[in-house]
Structure 1
Amino acid sequence: MANSPREGRLARRPDFTQLADMASEAVGGKSDSPSFKEHEYTEFGKWMDGWETRRKRTPGHDWCIIKLGIQGIIRGFDVDISYFMGDYAPRVSIQAANLEEDKQPEIPQRGIRIGVAATAEEFEAIAELKSSDWNYLVPMTELKPGKPASSHNYFPVNSQQRWSHVRLNIFPDGGIARLRVYGTGQKDWTATDPKEPFDLVTIAHGGACVGFSNAHFGHPNNVIGVGKARSVADGWEPARRRDRPPVLENDENGILLVLGCEWAVFRLAHPGVITQIEIDTTHFKGNSPDSCKLDGCILTTQEEEDMIKQKWELPGHKWKPLLPVTKLSANESHLFNSLTLELQDVITHTRLTISPDGGVSRLRLKGFPSSICLLRPCEKPKMRFFVKAGFRANL
């Protein structure tokens, strides 16, 4: 049985909002902000960009169930009531569950239906989920309006459990513009095929950006998002460096001769051996990097925390090259073989360096989890890779 809802407290401007929105349609990208059309109405009343229920005239309260596009660890929620100034939901609570895919009942698709409640058949199917008994991640809490166009209510979550579904309860009725569920993915690595390479850095599997030099136009977490980037807004783009020389020149390999660079460090979803690298500059047509390189290393949890405090001033001998300095093209996906095919090194963290600046839409690092790795299974005998004793317990 779930804990009963109680009054809770709000938090403001938390760091978890830099993580992926696990409930967005793009899963891994940022949800579009709600909009307002001042003079637009429907047969049911004012047009609003969000979920608005009818004024309740029956016992109970309203709720909805959302299947997360990225299943994993939830770090926080944003209940956005922008533009719902006169009819936002007074209170909310949020519950969650981790449901096995093969044990979920067949639930009819609602689609877009305005002005009607769920059917008896839909209620009957949903009842099998027993969602009223799910765990409370946010107890019943009063929502507070802010600015009409930007009215966010943030709720941090302290849970290490994997979640697949959330239930948003509003008390008793009203409107919500957006529900954002921020967190990181978590994959069941024991069920993976040891001969099948996986993207070890994607946020859907649990990868995360843990440090960067500059994120003026887009956070590096975007580049490990799910699916193809939708636009330049769905990538990582630092500001133009101010230390570029007045007149640019190339070296003998066609690489620009500049002193500065930008970088981002990612923790892999699972320690492993990287075999293939994809660096995608799609949508960045006049603002892509000139070149890039990729390095990897192995760090414990404590070492990572120390590096974050030191702004990733990691000794050079720790980093091992995965991809040497390589020329990039605009608006193109680049595929490379990793140097770990020769080095056969397990890594836990990787650093993408771009020079001198510019935008990257996606970074994919395909390889094998260290505990079940079979490197080139068709060409070589089975090879297994293991992390130092004590490391896995720190993950």
Structure 2
Amino acid sequence: MQTISNGFGRGPRGEIVDGWETKRRREPGHDWALIRLGAAGIITGIDVDTSFFTGNFPTTCRIEACGVEGYQSPKALQSSDTEWIEIVTRSPLKGDAHNRFDVSDRRRFTHVRLSAFPDGGISRVRLWGEVDPAARRTAGYRWFNALPGGQAAAVLADAGVPADLARSVVSARPLRDEGSAKQYQALQP
């Protein structure tokens, strides 16, 4: 597995490339990447985009998914304790193209593992689906708690929350999903 920070890097000839390009593989095996979803949910479609890779793209790919809670390390995700479910069987890819796949498994997932056979370049991986309502709430709390105080108060004011109540809510952070209704009720005048 390669660690990719932003998807940009130097290609084999020193040029800047946009995407993930693996080294040429001479021995058996394949390369793969772990992707943590922005929020847990049901995946309905995937696009393995090989745009601009006309000669050096993987000939096939396989996509698996898992549903784990918390922020697991890559090592933990690779352990035998993690159940990976194949959501796209090993399928052919075309170069310089959007390779789209439908996903019929309706389980809740948090991560995907893209395997590229045998090697080559992938520009982007896009996933479509439905965000789990609890995961959406958790993401909202995480976002609100991370805002600077003034910006958090402005968000609440824009939503019609009175200024004194907004200040109380902001000072009570970090808010959590569990018991947030009680927190809010306790702050009401």
Q: Quick one: distance in 1 between partners of 2:61 and 2:117?
A: 6
1:169-222, Cα deviation, whole Å (9 max, x unpaired): 111111100011222221448xxxxxxxxxxxxxx349xxxxxxxxxxxxxxxx
Tell me the SS of whatever aligns to 1:378.
Answer: helix
> After the TM superposition, which residues 118-157 of structure 1 pair with which residues of structure 2 at under 5 Å, given as runs?
127-128=78-79, 134-145=84-95, 148=96, 151-157=97-103
Q: TM-score, normalised by structure 1?
A: 0.33
* Pair 1:205–1:80, CA change in 2 (3 A): farther
Which residue is equivalent to 1:174? Answer: 120
Which residue is equivalent to 1:44? Answer: 12
Which residue is equivalent to 1:334? Answer: 158
Count of residue correspondences: 156
Q: TM-score, normalised by structure 2?
A: 0.65
Q: Look at both structures and tell me which one has the larger radius of gyration over its CA atoms.
A: 1
> Greater relative contact order (Cα 8 A, min sep 6): structure 1 or 2?
2
Unaligned 5+ segments in structure 2 are 1-5, 145-154, 163-176
| Structure number having the greater helix percentage | 2
Aligned pair partner of 1:164 in 100, 104, 110: 110
- Superposed displacement of residue 127, structure 1: 3.5
Which amino acid letter does the alignment assign opposite residue 170 of structure 1? A
Q: Quick one: distance in 1 between partners of 2:46 and 2:61?
A: 12
Which residue is equivalent to 2:185? Answer: 377
Which residue is equivalent to 1:350? Answer: none
* Pair 1:77–1:227, CA change in 2 (3 A): farther
* Pair 1:186–1:144, CA change in 2 (3 A): same
- Superposed displacement of residue 227, structure 1: 5.6
Tell me the SS of whatever aligns to 1:166.
Answer: strand
Which amino acid letter does the alignment assign opposite residue 101 of structure 1? G
Aligned pair partner of 1:94 in 56, 63, 82: 63
> After the TM superposition, which residues 166-315 of structure 1 pair with which residues of structure 2 at under 5 Å, given as runs?
166-188=112-134, 204-205=136-137
> After the TM superposition, which residues 6-155 of structure 1 pair with which residues of structure 2 at under 5 Å, given as runs?
42=10, 44-45=12-13, 46-101=15-70, 104=72, 106-107=73-74, 127-128=78-79, 134-145=84-95, 148=96, 151-155=97-101
* Pair 1:43–1:181, CA change in 2 (3 A): closer
Percent identity (aligned): 34
- After TM superposition, which residue ranges in structure 1, 4 or more long, deviate above 3 angstroms? 124-127, 372-376
- Superposed displacement of residue 48, structure 1: 2.1
Tell me the SS of whatever aligns to 1:55.
Answer: coil
